Structure 1
Amino acid sequence: MARESCTIETSEGIKLDARIFKPSQEITDTNLVAVLVHPYSVLGGCQGLMKGIARGLANGGFPAVTFDMRGVGRSTGRASLTGFSEVRDVVAVCKWVSQNLSVNRILLVGSSAGAPIAGSAVDQIEEVVAYVSLGYPFGLTASILFGRHHKAIIQSPKPKLFVMGTRDGFTSVKQLENKLKSAAGRTQSHLIEGVSHFQMEGPTYDAQMVDVIIRFVESL
């Protein structure tokens, strides 16, 4: 697996620090790249948290891209509280990926607060063919910040997978099930028994996340 660094500029001139994880050999012929959106910038979320999953996907034959959203690490600009400015970061990265990595299919993966941000970008990017959420914060308290993002992904006709621990402190299993009842298109959920929100974000579960994501991609 090879890893490259690059800088991606948004339409507003914000420079985003990104990493590309390339398979050492092309094992798959799906012409698909995964773009990974990290957890909440305001609470210390950064692309480093997505490194294990990106590496695992590349080892499984899928190129993966991680990046620091605005105001994080070496990326310029300022982080926003509700994640709406960051949606533009996701769109910019996906456009760059489709133009520079000679792929026309993107899987958008968002972790924690990165899930609503990625979800709001899904239908703004033609090349995005599917979406994976890792611990989407659907719960009431989190909805104060991210509630306005829900509609975009629930109404998107693109295939989507919601992965969550059954002991997620932000969203109960019932809240997840209620939200997904009204979802358009092909919608799946995958529950990890006894696991909390922040446990699932940690490196211990990276291999499991990779396995779930690859199975979802192969089913598309």
Structure 2
Amino acid sequence: MSNCTVESTTVETSDGVKLHARLFKPREEIKGNLVVVLVHPYSILGGCQGLLKGIAAGLAEKGYRAVTFDMRGAGKSSGRASLTGFAEIKDVIAVCKWVCEHLSVDRILLVGSSAGAPISGSAVDHIEQVVGYVSLGYPFGMTASILFGRHHNAILQSPKPKLFVMGTRDGFTSVKQLNNKLSSAAGRVETHLIEGVGHFQMEGPAYDAQMVNLILEFVASL
């Protein structure tokens, strides 16, 4: 992380939960008036902001500010994690509000990883400054839908630009399930499939650089 700096802060949600967040900033010139907010995988399975530090640092090294945070009940954040991720929508909204107020920006890209994808997808249209959305391994499959199915419509009906990144061997969502879901989506929708890669494999650090490049390509198109 030599080409970026990291600052820690606390963000309070509308229902009084205190979230531990980190701001990754470029050492050199900041590019554009856009901040990337990253939403981590399922807290109940050990998801935390640390899983996204490689992507956040990579974005900062390329000139973009990035924010990671522990959702309620994860890491150093207070509160309790919810099973279905609906309480956590407040967390995403609070962090985006903090970004707008403290970093003087009017453009946010929301990036959700695994369960963070449905949670952030449900927040997209609650935040005026969000100009686009990137999903890294959205769990659209039948089993995952028991927990996260009620989130689907929010992002599928949003008119904002969307990019869905997935491994072709994702155990939670098949390529067919992904395509079926996205066939009815509103607005601009893009997909990027990574051949032969599983769900948790794609979350690993070996794919951080590829995720950074995909995110930046999407940012350039907004």
TM class, shorter-length: over 0.9
Which of 11, 15, 21 in structure 2 is aligned with 1:8? 11
Letter in 2 for 1:85: A
Letter in 2 for 1:63: R
Provide the C-alpha distance between the structure 2 equivalents of 1:203 and 1:36, rounded to a whole number of angstroms.
15
Q: Does 1:19 align with 2:22?
A: yes
- 1:76 match: 78
1:45-124 to structure 2, matched below 5 A, reads 45-124=47-126
User: How high is the sequence identity, in percent, across the aligned residues?
Assistant: 77
- 1:140 match: 142
Provide the C-alpha distance between the structure 1 equivalents of 2:83 and 2:143, rounded to a whole number of angstroms.
14
Provide the C-alpha distance between the structure 2 equivalents of 1:59 and 1:92, rounded to a whole number of angstroms.
25
Provide the C-alpha distance between the structure 2 equivalents of 1:13 and 1:84, rounded to a whole number of angstroms.
16
Q: Is the 2:35–2:109 contact (alpha carbons within 8 Å) kept by the matching residues of 1?
A: yes
- 1:208 match: 210
Letter in 1 for 2:16: G
Deviations 1:182-202 (A, max 9, x none): 010000000000000000001
Provide the C-alpha distance between the structure 2 equivalents of 1:72 and 1:157, rounded to a whole number of angstroms.
31
Provide the C-alpha distance between the structure 1 equivalents of 2:217 and 2:28, rounded to a whole number of angstroms.
19
Provide the C-alpha distance between the structure 1 equivalents of 2:66 and 2:28, rounded to a whole number of angstroms.
14
Measured after TM superposition, the shift of residue 102 of structure 1 is 1.0
Provide the C-alpha distance between the structure 2 equivalents of 1:171 and 1:138, rounded to a whole number of angstroms.
5
- Note the residue ranges of structure 2 that are not aligned, 5 or more in a row: none
1:88 match: secondary structure: helix
- 1:151 match: 153
Q: Does 1:41 align with 2:39?
A: no
Deviant stretches of 4+, over 6 Å: none
Measured after TM superposition, the shift of residue 73 of structure 1 is 1.1
Provide the C-alpha distance between the structure 1 equivalents of 2:29 and 2:100, rounded to a whole number of angstroms.
18
How many residue pairs align between the two structures?
219
Letter in 2 for 1:79: A
Letter in 2 for 1:128: V
Letter in 1 for 2:28: Q
Which of 186, 201, 220 in structure 1 is aligned with 2:188? 186
Q: Does 1:198 align with 2:192?
A: no
Provide the C-alpha distance between the structure 2 equivalents of 1:187 and 1:175, rounded to a whole number of angstroms.
15
Provide the C-alpha distance between the structure 1 equivalents of 2:198 and 2:152, rounded to a whole number of angstroms.
21
TM-score by length of 2: 0.98
2:87 match: secondary structure: helix
Measured after TM superposition, the shift of residue 101 of structure 1 is 0.6
- Note the residue ranges of structure 1 that are not aligned, 5 or more in a row: none
Q: Does 1:161 align with 2:192?
A: no
Provide the C-alpha distance between the structure 2 equivalents of 1:26 and 1:200, rounded to a whole number of angstroms.
30
Measured after TM superposition, the shift of residue 139 of structure 1 is 0.2
Provide the C-alpha distance between the structure 2 equivalents of 1:100 and 1:175, rounded to a whole number of angstroms.
39
Deviations 1:140-196 (A, max 9, x none): 000000000000000000000000000000000000001110010000000000000
TM-score by length of 1: 0.99
Letter in 2 for 1:189: T
Provide the C-alpha distance between the structure 2 equivalents of 1:127 and 1:157, rounded to a whole number of angstroms.
14
Provide the C-alpha distance between the structure 1 equivalents of 2:17 and 2:151, rounded to a whole number of angstroms.
22
